A and B are shown apart, each in its own frame.
Chain A
Amino acid sequence: MKAAVVSFPGSNRERDIMMALERASGVKPSLLWHGDTEIPDTDLIVVPGGFSYGDYLRCGAMAAHSPVMKALKEKAAKGTPVLGVCNGFQILVEAGLLPGALMRNASLKFVCRQVHLRVEDSQSLFTNAYEKGQVIRVPVAHAEGNYTADEDTLKHLEDRGLVAFRYVAPDGSLAPEANPNGSTRAIAGIFNDSKTVLGLMPHPEDATDPHAGGMDGFGMFKSLVNALH
């Protein structure tokens, strides 16, 4: 599996996700820069976390209109899988590749801690190494992860099974205190209609080392390698 990681001024998790991708696939991903106008042929494009363009105007708003995102949108339209993590999720939403918006956390605080996620779909490119309903423990680190969308969009996401992950208690049940940011319906990550684009606020790449944070996030990278070889 060849992956390309797109980075922007202010990205800071690109190394983490490149290490996770390489650990799972054995292939070193390529790193692209925001000004690049072309993305070479690749099996997967990743938009990592960070604070692209200093979060000016709105998180992800500037990055969504950068040259590399134009190329990314073209690839995504042709079916190349795209993964956006944290700021990457915010960028994909601002770019219109995923519906809804990510608002300031309900607590108004930057939240950096471990959370539990329930895997809502195990039939996707990104989640096939997990079981449906499996609870995994991965970190979040963000101030704007409060997912919101209008009722029609939420209904569409639920009806089509496009909610990928929800924030839950360790036993898999929904609980207000398990939701770190106030996201509507405890939504932590969503797919696009074709399930070739996934955006999520938590950082699975930071749970891929038994010595630092556990291995619960590794399943996502294993899933991608399973699906994309």
Chain B
Amino acid sequence: MKATVHVTLKPGVLDPQGVAIGHALTGLGFAGVNSVRMGKFLELDLAETDRAKAEAAVKAMCEKLLANTVIESYRVEIR
């Protein structure tokens, strides 16, 4: 199975990269960009064939390594 993981900074955690990208977009003339939040995208190829088990495993991976839950939240999708 394939799993995709989005890791993003939690709401309220300052994202200086997102802010800089937002400024750059505004500078390029793209009007109306209220804010930008930058994150990470990971794609995992899993041997597991059970959807629930795969999801549980990837969530455990996020908790332990893929995300720093002090500042980041994550979203797992199994395909």
Contacts and interface: CB of A to CB of B under 8 A. Distances in A.
Interface of A: 57-58, 61, 65, 94, 99-101, 103-108, 146, 148-150, 182
A87 to B, nearest CB: 15
B17 A108 contact: yes
A148 B14 CA distance: 10
Going nearest first, the 6 A-B pairs with the smallest beta carbon separation are A101-B70, A101-B71, A106-B16, A108-B16, A101-B68, A58-B68
Interface string B46-79: 0000000000000000001110101100000000
Contacts, number: 36
Contacts of A100: 70
Contacts of A108: 16-17, 20
Contacts of A149: 70
Contact of A104 (B17, B65, B66, B70): B17
B13 interface: yes
A182 B14 CA distance: 10
A65 B16 contact: no
Contacts of B20: 108
B14 A106 contact: yes
B29 to A, nearest CB: 22
A104 B68 CA distance: 13
Interface of B: 13-14, 16-17, 20, 40, 64-66, 68, 70-71
Nearest to B67: A58
A150 B40 CA distance: 22
A146 B13 CA distance: 12
A29 B51 CA distance: 50
Contact of A103 (B40, B65, B66, B71): B71
Contacts of A57: 40, 65-66
B72 to A, nearest CB: 9
Contacts of A146: 16
A14 to B, nearest CB: 24
A105 B16 CA distance: 8
B68 A94 contact: yes
Given A108-B17, A108-B20, A65 B71 contact: no
Interface centre among B17, B20, B65 (most CB of A within 10 A): B65
Contacts of B68: 58, 61, 94, 101
Interface centre among A101, A105, A106 (most CB of B within 10 A): A101
A160 B14 CA distance: 26
